[in-house]
Amino acid sequence: MAPPAPSIDDRSHPKRAEPVQPPLISIIVPHYNDLENLARCLAHLRQQTWPTARREIIIADNNSDGGVAAVEAIAPDARVVAAREQGAGPARNAAIAVAGGSILAFIDSDCFAAETWVAEGVAALDRFDYVGGDVRICVADRQPTPAETYEIVFAFDTKKHLERDHYSGTGNLFVPKPVFDRVGRFRNGVSEDIDWCRRANALGYRLGHAERAIVQHAARREWHELTRRWDRVIAEMFLLRREEPHWVRGWLAYTALVALSPLPHSLRILRHERLPGLRNKVFGLLALFGLREYRAFRMLRCLLRCRAADAPRGASVRSVE
């Protein structure tokens, strides 16, 4: 007599492994008065290859003119929170406070993610504790302005920031939530990305490069857009530098380097493949020399104003213009 066929309920039968569910990703987007770019940013995020059910988009509106209601009107599939404290760092903190994901993916509202952005960023976390992706400049299909020629060559030098300066910008950053919680929230008033990465590095976390996690950022077209950005960056960097020993000498040395930097960096413009033709190279050189000297002037002005404010009472002043 033949033996009975094995039952599918037989406990000795090997069980099939349950499929592993991908982690929930919280995409953090700070926003301030830029609904047009935010709509484009969201359109790209909706096209991600990462499963829709395993990602959430959280937008922190930072006191925009239209408020939360205007953002919700263009982002019905996102969670929108109000960030009352002004600043990109506090806005990100407000979004993180309601995030449910095990991984935080940071992007700015004027950045446009490639379809595999989330997938590539998450994959890179297998090799590092937290990672920064590439930010690439995009320009409209026309002759670039002088400001755009500068941005094409010098904006978002991700490789240099990661390998030499050991930080990643928060416009393209992936951090496991437990790592973020241990490092702590973003600070306001300083270069929050540099400051946060320094704290993470000091705790022993390894920063890596997710070179295939790509977002695009439109080049700043007008001169005042460049100077306004650098006014903010210089003020934030100045506050960070003041926390270092011998900061005055360090700031003066940095100012001198910025003032002299157009000489060696001119070669990058002359050789850059995205600046063909004499017109573009001349525009690039004019923008390089003009902006670097402007930056040096503003850096020196920050120092002189700070020293003048300190002199009468011999105390440190924690704010700059």
Rounded to whole angstroms, what are the CA distances from 167 to 236, 242, 288?
15, 19, 24
188 Cβ neighbours under 8 A, 6+ residues apart:
85, 87, 89, 90
For residue 36, count other CB atoms closer than 10 A to its CB: 10
**Matching residue, tokens 């393209």:** 172
- What is residue 164's predicted lDDT score, i.e. its pLDDT? 87
What is the DSSP track for 296-314? Answer: HHHHHHHHHHHHHHHTTTT
Distance CA 228, CA 99 (A): 31
- What is residue 5's predicted lDDT score, i.e. its pLDDT? 47
What is the DSSP track for 12-23? Answer: TSPPPPPPPPPP
Half-sphere exposure of 284 (CA within 13 A, CB side): 27
**Two structure tokens written together for 321:** 């213009």
SS3 103: strand
Distance CA 155, CA 42 (A): 23
Distance CA 313, CA 306 (A): 12
- What is residue 157's predicted lDDT score, i.e. its pLDDT? 81
- What pairing do the DSSP bridges indicate for beta strands 207-218 and 111-113? antiparallel
- What is residue 312's predicted lDDT score, i.e. its pLDDT? 55
**Matching residue, tokens 């695009």:** 216
- Listed as ranges, residues in the chain with pLDDT below 50 are 1-3, 5-12, 313-321
- What is residue 151's predicted lDDT score, i.e. its pLDDT? 93
